[in-house]
Amino acid sequence: MPKEALKLVLSFESEDQGFQPSEHNLSAEQAIDLVRHIASEGRTAKVIDQTSRHKTLDLTRCRPCKKSAEEATYGGTQPSGDEQKQKHQEGEPESE
């Protein structure tokens, strides 16, 4: 029997907080149930595959959970363009 993959569920809290760990060490079925529950509250959830069982029971102290939440929040989708410099357009005719 292959080792059962454990799942970590993140939920999107707010723009400030981003994704926060909701529950970990879940079976695939439990993860799906939780995602449905979170979605029914109008929130976004994300399922992450755990590489191993998390030993910390307290979610707020669980480092792998925190790391996954940060990656889900900031990973690869950092907003760009807020520091966009205004391009000076050449050849634009000046009008009065």
The residue type of 27 is: S
**65 contributes a contact to Zn ion by CB under 5 A:** yes
Least separation in angstroms between residue 41's CB and Zn ion is: 21
Give 76's contacts (C-beta < 8 A, 6+ positions apart).
none
Least separation in angstroms between residue 35's CB and Zn ion is: 16
The residue count for binding Zn ion (CB under 5 A) is 4
Choice from 26, 31, 38, 62 touching Zn ion (CB under 5 A): 62
The residue type of 23 is: E
Taking Cα atoms as reference points, which of 65, 66, 33, 70 lies closest to residue 49? Answer: 65
**7 contributes a contact to Zn ion by CB under 5 A:** no
Least separation in angstroms between residue 24's CB and Zn ion is: 3
**34 contributes a contact to Zn ion by CB under 5 A:** no
Residue 77: Cβ within 10 Å count: 8
